[in-house]
Amino acid sequence: MALVYCRECGKQVSDQAPTCPNCGAPQRAAPIAGARPVKSRGAAIILALLLGGIGAHKFYLDRPLQGLLYLVFCLTFVPAIIAFLEAIAYALTSEAEFHKTYG
């Protein structure tokens, strides 16, 4: 058990405490078992632009089968074109919609 500082009053509280015993402010929620980590939309866009031809963005977004298809067909340059279009789609998607789809 470690001690952290309350976000509201600055007093030390346990990192396991749901609320601050001093001011009652809610603390950061503990990660839920089995929850997916949050993926960065910016990282997905950059990976799609720079390494999309080999499917790096698909592996990053936890789509390994699609990433493997990109890797298999990378010599045809078709995955690079599709990845470029996907980078544009990621850029035009709202942050909330992106996180709802990819975590």
Going from the C-alpha of 24 to that of each of 7, 17, 28, 73, the distances in angstroms are 11, 10, 13, 56
Could you state, in order of their start, the residue ranges of all structural domains in the chain? Answer: 1-30, 41-102
Report the pLDDT value the prediction gives residue 52, as an integer from 0 to 100. Answer: 96
Q: pLDDT by residue (tens digit) across 65-101? A: 999 999 999 999 999 999 999 999 999 999 989 988 9
In three-state secondary structure terms, 78 is helix
Report the pLDDT value the prediction gives residue 29, as an integer from 0 to 100. Answer: 60
Q: pLDDT by residue (tens digit) across 3-42? A: 888 777 888 888 888 888 888 888 766 555 556 678 999 9
Alpha-carbon span 9 to 11, nearest angstrom: 6
Alpha-carbon span 21 to 11, nearest angstrom: 9
The model's pTM: 0.66
